[in-house]
């Protein structure tokens, strides 16, 4: 059996909840407001009926017709000398049962009301026998005097409330589930390799946060797919050149083998191996490494010592600072930044710096090289992006160093930034979480 939709379940649950609330409110209104008022009104009417019968008995007979007319005109009560047939217990509206209780409390005995159709054939009168002097006097009241229909009112209120609750519950459920339906459709399209439109980040706070996270994930998927395409295109381009040289060397070796050709083949193989190793580094950069307590000053000093073979002046500027970071990932990222500085800033001092600002901390490599134009900084983090458009191995690497740094930073919750320095040069920072 297929489960019902979330909208239908929410509609039913909300409708039931609204109905229970309405029933509770109606019950409280009836018990604490309507019923006490009805009892008080019934008691007042019972007192008026008994007083009318007693007053009629005490009046002189000539004045009784005027009194009866006044009572009928002003209070819709009628008096009759002939006793009414009130022995049977008839069904009445709820108010007349309260009136019977009020009469019983005042007179000490139960008095039933008997219904009777008036001469016009439409008006219903209720009669009862009340003491009047030495005998009994029939006192009647018109049903029109008590126009209340609490049962009908309650039925209409519950019916209207049910319709309103159902409509409002359906609208509220749709308001909640429509963003989820859009999310489901967008997730399906992403699974099929498409690029859906970003979801609107509106509505309730939780749904807006969910849409915001989904949009961020969708953008990351787009970036990954774009990076994959760029990597495949870049690899095919960068491998084609050494393969062409290798083919040419093999053709030349058929006619005249020479050590120089063999050395050329070995160099091309090393170039291809280096490119593949760099790509593997980029792929490994996507893996998150568990953090460890690390002495950043010691880590920077070790990197400076490893680069001492380049015979460059490398200074370390870092106070005692310990952070819970992924040490191998941070070492690889800073190593790539240092290699870039050694390659593209051949002159001038290099600095390995650690700075703390409150709870934040950042480490970086600072050089005095030619720097990078501000409009090209964002593009430098993309795979196979280099300032040297010729892409010659003699003037630089494969253009994957900063891409690896960015992926390492993303995987560990850091931020990688490039900033021009005052006085020339470049500052490459990794802002730790």
* Average confidence (pLDDT) over 359-383: 83
- Condensed to tens digits (0 to 9), the pLDDT of residues 275-313 reads 676 666 655 555 567 888 998 888 998 888 887 766 777
* Average confidence (pLDDT) over 106-129: 80
Q: Which two tokens stand for residue 81?
A: 């000398």
pLDDT at 63: 92
Beta-carbon contacts of residue 334 (< 8 Å; ≥ 6 apart): 299, 300, 303, 352, 363, 365, 430
Angle at 334 between CA 333 and CA 339, to 5 degrees: 100
Fold annotation for 199-284 = Helix Hairpins (1.10.287)
Strand partners, 357: 360
Contact status, residue 245 vs residue 268, Cβ threshold 8 Å: yes
The enclosing H or E element of 147 equals none
Comparing C-alpha atoms, which of 204, 212, 159 is closest to residue 178? 204
C-alpha 356/C-alpha 414 separation (Å) is 15
C-alpha 404/C-alpha 280 separation (Å) is 10
| DSSP-based helix, strand, coil % in the chain, nearest 5 | 60, 15, 25
Q: Give the number of other Cβ atoms within 10 Å of residue 310's Cβ.
A: 14
Q: Residue 352 — pLDDT band, cuts 50, 70, 90?
A: very high
Asked if the model's pLDDT at residue 68 lies above 70, the reply is: yes
The CATH code of the domain at 6-151 is 3.30.450.300
Asked if the model's pLDDT at residue 420 lies above 80, the reply is: yes
pLDDT at 1: 47
Count of residues in the chain: 433
* Average confidence (pLDDT) over 14-31: 78
Q: Where are the domains of the chain?
A: 6-151, 199-284, 287-432
Task: Give the rounded percent of residues in the chain with a pLDDT score beyond 90.
Answer: 3
The enclosing H or E element of 390 equals none
Asked if the model's pLDDT at residue 345 lies above 50, the reply is: yes
75-84, 266-275, 314-323: least confident range:
266-275
**Packing angle between helix 35-58 and helix 94-107, nearest 10 degrees?**
50
C-alpha 160/C-alpha 26 separation (Å) is 13
Kindly report the pTM of this predicted structure: 0.46
- Distances in Å between the alpha carbon of 67 and those of 55, 56, 137, 220? 9, 7, 14, 94
Positive or negative torsion for Cα 232, 233, 236, 241: negative
| Architecture field, domain 287-432 | 2-Layer Sandwich (3.30)
- Give me the chain's average pLDDT, please: 78
pLDDT at 260: 78
């Amino acid at each position: 059996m297929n489960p019902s939709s979330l909208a239908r379940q929410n509609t039913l649950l909300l409708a039931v909840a609204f109905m229970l609330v309405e029933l509770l409110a109606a019950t409280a209104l009836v018990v604490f407001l309507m019923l006490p008022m009805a009892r008080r009104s019934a008691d007042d009417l019972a007192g008026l009926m008994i007083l009318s019968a007693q007053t009629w008995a005490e009046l002189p007979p000539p004045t009784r017709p005027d009194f009866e007319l006044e009572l009928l005109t002003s209070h819709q009560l009628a008096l009759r000398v002939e006793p009414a047939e009130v022995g049977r217990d008839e069904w009445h509206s709820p108010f007349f049962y309260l009136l019977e209780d009020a009469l019983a409390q005042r007179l000490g005995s139960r008095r039933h009301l008997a219904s009777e159709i008036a001469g016009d054939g439409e008006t219903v009168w209720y009669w009862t026998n009340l003491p009047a002097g030495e005998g009994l006097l029939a006192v009647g009241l018109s049903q029109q005097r008590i126009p209340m229909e609490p049962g009908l009112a309650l039925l209409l209120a519950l019916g209207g409330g049910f319709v309103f609750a159902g409509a409002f519950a359906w609208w509220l459920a749709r308001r909640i589930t429509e963003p989820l339906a859009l999310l489901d459709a967008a997730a399906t399209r992403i699974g099929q390799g498409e690029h859906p439109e970003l979801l609107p980040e509106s509505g309730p706070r939780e749904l807006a946060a969910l849409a915001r996270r989904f949009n961020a994930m969708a953008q990351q998927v787009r970036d990954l797919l774009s990076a994959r395409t760029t990597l495949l295109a870049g690899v095919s381009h960068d491998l084609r050149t050494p393969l062409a040289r290798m083919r040419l060397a093999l053709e030349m070796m058929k006619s005249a083998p020479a050590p120089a050709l063999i050395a050329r083949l070995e160099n091309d193989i090393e170039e291809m191996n280096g490119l593949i190793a760099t790509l593997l580094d980029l792929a490994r950069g996507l893996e998150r490494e568990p953090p460890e307590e690390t002495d950043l000053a010691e880590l920077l000093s070790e990197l400076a010592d490893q680069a001492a073979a380049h015979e460059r002046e490398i200074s370390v500027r870092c106070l005692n600072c310990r952070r819970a970071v992924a040490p191998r990932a941070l070492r690889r990222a800073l190593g790539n930044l240092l290699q870039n500085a050694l390659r593209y800033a051949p002159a001038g001092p290099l600095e390995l710096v650690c700075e703390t600002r409150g709870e934040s901390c950042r480490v970086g490599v600072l050089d005095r090289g030619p720097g990078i134009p501000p409009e090209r900084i964002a593009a430098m983090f993309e795979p196979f992006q280099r300032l040297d458009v010729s892409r010659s191995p003699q003037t630089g690497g494969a253009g994957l160093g900063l891409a690896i740094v960015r992926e390492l930073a993303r995987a560990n919750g850091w931020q990688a930034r490039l900033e021009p320095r005052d006085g020339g040069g470049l500052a490459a920072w990794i802002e730790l979480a």
